Amino acid sequence: MPRCSFGCATGTTRCWSDTVAVAHGGTARALMVALGIETPESAADLFIEQGAVYVFRDGGLHEV
């Protein structure tokens, strides 16, 4: 299976609005890049907690 880069995943998630998504950390990282919260370089090293709920709002990421 081919790997998807942040660019690929960012293009897929860019048009989401008021969406609940259940996904792995790579999708969360791609959303951070698409929303301008992180750069591709910084997002690659971020820890994404398994089973956590995150809200993307007000230019940031908030764990619920």
pLDDT for 21-37, tens place per residue? 778 888 888 888 888 88
Helix (H, G, I), strand (E, B) or coil at 9: helix
Helices (H), 14-56: 25-34, 40-43
Count of domains forming the chain: 1
The answer to whether residue 46 is domain-embedded is yes
* Run means of pLDDT, 10 residues per run, the chain, 64 residues: 54 63 83 88 90 84 84
Could you give the C-alpha distances from 63 to 12, 57, 58, in angstroms and in order? 23, 11, 13
The answer to whether residue 1 is domain-embedded is no
The answer to whether residue 49 is domain-embedded is yes
Note the residue count of the chain: 64
pTM of full prediction above 0.85: no
